[in-house]
Amino acid sequence: MIYYCCEKDWESVLTCIYEAWTQKRGQANIQLIFEPVVQYTLFDEYIHVKADTALAEKVVDAVNRKLSPQFYYEIAHVGMYEAPDVADVLFRVLLLGFAYGPYVLEMVQYKDIMRFREMRCSIGNEISHFREFTRFHEVNHRYVAIIEPRSRIIPALAEVFLDRMPSESWMIADLTNRMAVVHPKDGFYQFVDLTAEEMERLMEIEKNNDRMEVLWKIFFETTAIQERKNERCQKNLYPIWTRKHAVEFMEMRTEKQTCCENENVL
């Protein structure tokens, strides 16, 4: 078996697909995996593939031209998903796509297509969760949100919030993948990588709650009907892992309280 190894970013995945395709070593003999490789095997060949913008663009161009922009949209979404077999499934789906055309995604008789659809469904759900549960904090008329998703969903979220708040300055920081999207008022967003120091500074924002956050917590608690209380249903629809940065489940601390506590400590 020949293993093509690449990083998890989209450019590396596309470059890896390009290399695996052009080297023509026989699709049954190759597999695409992500680095770091935990355990190497003795008799297999491992090929490291480095991201190359020009090669990645060739794949993007081929998919858009020979298949369809909608097909590219679908594979780009699955590319964000966090699973060890993403690159390999994408490679095999593209092989099938180039052989049968863009409607191949409906051919669930192929196990790779079925796996692709499962991953597409999961990433769609995760994007929906964070579209719903991302909470912004106001800092000098700018809005900052911190999230910890499982997958690299920041590009999809950026599109969502660009449409929702085009005339606000906002930023969403992804602590899992150490990246952020920054949107200036009436402008277009851009992605930045976060340093450890920046991440720590961002975490400070959540420590104080302003008046609107207190009001939201009041609303969240009052609007529930006690006679219909159903925590199991709430957990099912609002999974606990997505609540990490949700204001409504935090203990409210105003700036004044934090200052008083700090003075006491000093």
Partner 1 sequence: MFCIFEKRLEKANKCSYNKNNKSRTNIRMVIEMGQSVPAVTLEKSIEEKLKILSDAAKYDVACTSSGSDRRGQKGMLGNSVAAGVCHAFAADGRCISLLKILMSNHCVYDCKYCINRKSNDIARATFTPQEICELTVEFYRRNYIEGLFLSSGVLNNPNETMEKMCQTLRLLRTVYHFNGYIHVKAIPGASAELLYSAGLLADRISLNMELPTQASLGKLCPNKHMNQIIRPMNCISETIAVNRIAHGKTARLDRAGINRHLENSIFGETSRRIEANAAQSLQTMRFQYPAERMDALLHRDFAPAGQSTQMIIGATEETDFELIRTSQQLYQSFDLKRVFYSGYIPINDDTALPEIGTPVPLLREHRLYQADWLMRFYGFHANELLSEEQPFFDRHIDPKCEWALRHLGDFPVEINRASYDQLLRVPGIGPTGVKKIMSARRYGSVNFDMLKKMHIALKRAQYFITCNGKMLYPIPISQNFIRNQLTDLDRVEIAKIEGNTVTYQQMNLFRDFHMEGQA
Sign of the torsion angle spanned by Cα atoms 130, 131, 135, 141 = positive
Binding mask 79-108 for partner 1 (x = CB under 8 A): ---------------------------xxx
Residue 132 binds partner 1 (CB under 8 A): yes
25, with CB counted inside 10 A (0-12, 13-18, 19+), is middle
Side chain identity at residue 178, one-letter code: R
User: Does the bond joining 166 to the residue before it have cis omega, within 30 degrees of 0?
Assistant: no
We find the least distance from the C-beta atom of residue 51 to partner 1, in angstroms, to be 33
From candidates 2, 62, 162, 250, binder to partner 1 by CB under 8 A:
162
* Touching partner 1, residues 104-123 (CB under 8 A): 106-109, 114, 118
We find the least distance from the C-beta atom of residue 151 to partner 1, in angstroms, to be 19
Q: Which stretch binds partner 1 (CB under 8 A): 27-35, 41-49, 87-95, 163-171?
A: 163-171
Using the minimum distance from each CB to partner 1, give the nearer residue, 62 or 162: 162
From candidates 42, 43, 186, 193, binder to partner 1 by CB under 8 A:
186
Using the minimum distance from each CB to partner 1, give the nearer residue, 24 or 256: 256
Using the minimum distance from each CB to partner 1, give the nearer residue, 109 or 262: 109
Closest CA to 6 of 47, 67, 62, 55: 47
User: Between β-strands 30-34 and 2-6, what pairing exists: parallel, antiparallel or unpaired?
Assistant: parallel
Residue 240 binds partner 1 (CB under 8 A): no
| C-beta atoms surrounding 198 within 10 Å | 14
Residue 218 binds partner 1 (CB under 8 A): yes
From candidates 23, 41, 234, 258, binder to partner 1 by CB under 8 A:
234
Q: In what order do the strands lie in the sheet with 2-6?
A: 30-34, 2-6, 45-48
With beta carbons less than 8 A apart as the criterion, state whether 192 and 165 touch: no
